[in-house]
Amino acid sequence: MDWHDDGIVLSARRHGETSAIVHVLTRDHGVHAGLVKGGFAKRHRSTIEPGNRVHTTWRARLAEHLGNFALECTHAHGAALMDNANRLAAMSAALAVAEAALPEREPHPATLEALEALLDALEHIDIAPDATAWGQLYVRWELGLLSELGFRLDLSHCASTGVTEDLLWVSPKSGRAVSASAGEPYAAQLLALPGFLRLGGGGQVSLRDIIQGLKLSGYFIERHLFAPHDRAMPQARARLVERLAKQGV
């Protein structure tokens, strides 16, 4: 059996001397692994770089087999981001989170489209001129991933009073927004809701807002997607937060 699909390379692990086991987030087949024969050979090495947009052909005798991938690179995001440490870190973090969080062989086309949009924004300085611009997109991508997997945060109104204004916090228990007045007595236990995620939120966004956003999405990703499987947050994502936190101080 075989199929053709488009997707993004999430990771490539060496198998034997030159072959690779590649994980691709595809549109109709979700995160799918396959063997790329000679993937780590000089000629094909650049095709399996994480972040590459690829056209995939998967072949196997039975559906449950690992199968073989034939990959054709249609766009190399990684190559475009290599000289920018922050953007490269953001791409690596998104790919690592997607690979660790998404179940294999379960289609999530919305997540793929959002990831493509994020990688485009990271690559094109006119879409996202600085870390505060692509940082917002990154946080929204992670919140979208949570939503796609059934853990949507409700940031539209206060969980306690129902008001839609002055929302400053998020309850770590319910994942719902909490207003300034209702949350004040519990401020130490609540997660900060950055301005750009508030209803009608706009205005100036700082690196501090982005870090708050990353803490917020990271908390729920760990709680809902990784902790039940006894998994830790991918190192690449932790490094992104660390990197931005250093610059935000």
Query: What is the closest distance, in whole angstroms, from the C-beta atom of residue 136 to another protein in the complex?
Result: 22
Q: b/e map of 115-150 (b: 16 or more CB within 10 Å)?
A: bbebbebbbeeeebeebbbbbbbbbbbbbbbbebbe
90/128 with CB nearer another protein: 90
How many beta carbons lie within 10 A of that of residue 180, not counting itself?
A: 14
Cα angle 138-139-142, degrees, rounded to a multiple of 5: 90
40/219 with CB nearer another protein: 40
What amino acid is encoded at 57 in this protein?
T
140/239 with CB nearer another protein: 239
First-to-last C-alpha distance (Å) of the chain = 54
Q: How far apart are CA 88 and CA 119, in angstroms?
A: 10
37/157 with CB nearer another protein: 37
183/234 with CB nearer another protein: 234
Query: What is the closest distance, in whole angstroms, from the C-beta atom of residue 238 to another protein in the complex?
Result: 9
Query: What is the closest distance, in whole angstroms, from the C-beta atom of residue 45 to another protein in the complex?
Result: 8
Query: What is the closest distance, in whole angstroms, from the C-beta atom of residue 165 to another protein in the complex?
Result: 40
Query: What is the closest distance, in whole angstroms, from the C-beta atom of residue 140 to another protein in the complex?
Result: 22
66/187 with CB nearer another protein: 66
- Positions in the binding site for another protein (CB under 8 A): 11, 13, 17, 45-47, 49-52, 73, 75-76, 78-80, 82-83, 85, 88-89, 91-92, 96, 234-236, 239, 243
Q: How far apart are CA 188 and CA 194, in angstroms?
A: 16
Query: What is the closest distance, in whole angstroms, from the C-beta atom of residue 89 to another protein in the complex?
Result: 7
